[in-house]
A and B are shown apart, each in its own frame.
Chain A
Amino acid sequence: MSNTKTDNVKTILIIEDESDLLDLLQDKFITSGFKVIGAGSGEEGIRHALKNKPNLILLDIILPKMDGITMLKKLRQDRWGKGVPVIILSNLSDQNKISEAMKIGVYDFLVKSNIKLTDVVTQVRQVLD
């Protein structure tokens, strides 16, 4: 049986340790027509990523148990993980961390306090198209 309807629904994995922010993001993406998986730590994040293989990952840098950069490095070591698009969504403006992330390979680095939820969805749509 063809799954064309479900084929068009993209899955986003959001890794964010602030539960309020994770809630807001999840609600927004669901009402925008996405399927969403949430994770509250780098460890949980990589587990879900490798298990569910989402179309795109939204990743924060400051995370408990395993920070975003470490998780990203681990992700890129996996055959599938090497190619999945990642957007960093963080409130950290550390130049060094930004360069480090860019080197490992991310599509963009967005600062939460400077961007509207609607625009986050727009950015994600741009990358997936």
Chain B
Amino acid sequence: MKNTDLCQTGIEIIGDVSWGTHFCQFYQTKTDLIGTLVPYFRAGLDNNEFCVWVTSDFLNTEEAIAALQKGIPNFSKYLKKKQIEIFPHTQWYLKGGKFEMKQVLRDWVNKHDQALKKGFAGTRVSGNPFWIDNKKDWDDFAKYEAEINKVIDNYKLLVLCTYSLDKCNSSEIIDVVSNHELALIKQAGKWQNIQSVGYKKIEQSLRQSEGRFRSYIELTGQLGWTTNTKGEVEEDIPSWRKYTGQSYEEVKGTGWTEALHPADVKHTLAVWNKAVRTKSAYETEYRIRRYDGVYFHFLVRGIPVMNENGDIQEWVGTCVDITNRKEMERVKSEFISIASHQLRTPLSAISWAVESLSEIECKNRSANCKKYLEQVDNQTKKMIKLTENMLDVTKMELGVFSFKYEEINPLKVALKVIEDYKDQIKNKKIKFKFIKDTDIQPYKTYSNAIVTILSNLLSNAVKFTPIGGRIILRIAKKNSQLLIEVSDSGVGIPKSAQAKIFQKAYRATNVKSQFEGTGFGLYITKTMIDRMGGEIIVKSVRRKGTTFRVILPFKQEERKIQAVKLTSNLTGMTAII
């Protein structure tokens, strides 16, 4: 984006231009050059700009200084102040003996940075490629001019390149004109400004797309950013900078991370670098420090942008303020925490009081005493179970259920869960078999989910299997997925109910009255399985038995790349969105 500050060129036919303008002049005589460059530099010196004039064999350093002294009052004071530097091309373009584009560009940036440090308003320069005498240097110089165009918008630089009209053939003139925003040519004794028509059209189109793009960003209140293929900020990111208050210099490269909360930087860079390296979609959360120093939670997403050849050209991304969402989550979690605690407390008190009563008081009382106390105890246990289930369901619905991600061996977990039902299985004389695939290794997954799934399926199997029945638990590896299968010889599930058993509070007709249950167990189990990207299937025959089959992937699915393909309406340029 262009700086909106204007500076006076000192050249009548052009007037004022914004910083970051790169223009050229075709001269024929020394008078042409002097007549343009002296007013040009005069305007710069008058406006407290730092000036650099790289001279050539056509108009050398002594001649340049003489012309400036003649045309600018008190010129020596500027020289003394070192506000202007004049030196030959050999000390600039051909420092090492040959033209090194990257070095010259770096040198210009250095001059610019130093000028700003010294307190100048900007830097105004002029150079003359009169020294070029072969095609290779000409082509290199043209590339160099094009590079200037890519970055000049970010700097307080004004660049005027002077070309000898006599030295340029027609195709070379076209090269030069297409690389500059304005071109000055003398026609019929008068200076004309030939603005590069193609350049202007392209610029207009770009500005329109840019304008639209920025409007979208502003409408959504998001921060937009873009980086080069290496993941470094190169082009200006104004919406980000507006929010954080950082300058372009502070933000480029990886400087943008300075605005992140220090505790979030390491993880963010790890995730970002991985995304850039693997060319996959980028998403994470972090806190950004606003211009006033306050940190806010953001969700950031980035995708690679491909050009026509399928290569990544750049990355674009947005940051969305999720502070409200985070606050809501915190409020919900806290509410559920308090609610669960408040509900459990009186239930614990009743439970323990009944326990104490049974032991002490019923020894010498009637049989009814024990019976009624047992009923109180059973009902209390039911309430506790119901409370637990409802709290889990509420957490899931509100999106604040915490899945614990850690490494576990499903076989070990299964053994622990089986322990919980050992007594019930023994009391009901159930034949229990555990078939396990011994080569299942520990792996990272949601441990509390696995526990809940196993516990729920086993609990149901034990509950609905009659005395002397049979239960088989099988855990195996199947097609790089984890298989958990629980079969029983229980009452079975009617066909009409099989689709509904995973619903909240559903209890099939054949069990509703005889067996206790909250109706939430399978809903919770299925929700967890869905979240993990797995599936659960039920097969059942009434009065024969039921088999629940759960398949869980060992790895979480990688997010698919959503790259944006560019369409080019204008040759060599790209339009966005």
| Residues of chain A at the chain B interface (Cβ within 8 Å) | 18, 20-21, 24-25, 27-28, 62, 91-96, 111-114, 116-118
Contact = CB atoms under 8 A, between A and B. Distances in A.
B351 to A, nearest CB: 7
Contact of A113 (B337, B384, B404): B384
Nearest to B391: A93
B347 interface: yes
A117 B345 contact: no
A118 B352 CA distance: 9
Contacts of B344: 91, 111-113
A93 B341 CA distance: 8
Contacts of B349: 18, 20-21, 24
Contact of B384 (A24, A95, A114): A114
A95 B340 CA distance: 13
Nearest to B360: A31
28 contacts: A18-B349, A21-B345, A21-B348, A21-B349, A21-B352, A24-B349, A24-B352, A24-B356, A28-B352, A91-B340, A91-B341, A91-B345, A92-B337, A92-B340, A92-B341, A93-B340, A94-B337, A111-B344, A112-B344, A112-B345, A112-B348, A113-B348, A113-B351, A113-B384, A113-B387, A114-B384, A117-B355, A118-B355
Interface string B346-366: 011101110110000000000
Report, as a range, how many residues of chain B touch the other chain.
10 to 19
Nearest to A18: B345
B345 A27 contact: no
Given A24-B356, A96-B402, A111-B344, 9 more contacts: A18-B349, A21-B345, A24-B352, A27-B356, A62-B341, A91-B341, A94-B337, A112-B348, A118-B355
Contacts of B348: 21, 91, 112-113
B424 to A, nearest CB: 16
Contacts of B387: 113
Interface of B: 337, 340-341, 344-345, 347-349, 351-353, 355-356, 384, 387, 402, 404
A85 to B, nearest CB: 22
A38 to B, nearest CB: 15
Chain A, interface SS category: helix
Contacts of A116: 351-352, 355
Q: Which of A18, A25, A94 has the most CB of B within 10 A?
A: A94
Given A91-B345, A93-B340, A117 B402 contact: no
A19 to B, nearest CB: 10
A113 B353 contact: no
A113 B356 contact: no
Contacts of B384: 113-114
A18 B384 CA distance: 18
A113 B349 CA distance: 8
A101 B456 CA distance: 28
A94 B339 CA distance: 12
A117 B340 contact: no
A108 B404 CA distance: 18
A24 B341 contact: no
B404 A117 contact: no
Contact of B404 (A28, A95, A111): A95
A95 B446 CA distance: 13
A9 to B, nearest CB: 21
A116 B377 CA distance: 11
Given A95-B402, A113-B351, A113-B384, A28 B356 contact: yes
B356 A117 contact: yes
Q: Which of A18, A91, A92, A113 has the most CB of B within 10 A?
A: A113
Nearest to A114: B384
A21 B404 CA distance: 30
A91 B339 CA distance: 11
A111 to B, nearest CB: 8
A127 B347 CA distance: 26
Contact of A117 (B337, B341, B347, B352): B352
A-B complex: 8 closest residue pairs judged by Cβ atoms: A91-B344, A112-B348, A113-B344, A24-B352, A113-B348, A20-B349, A95-B402, A113-B384
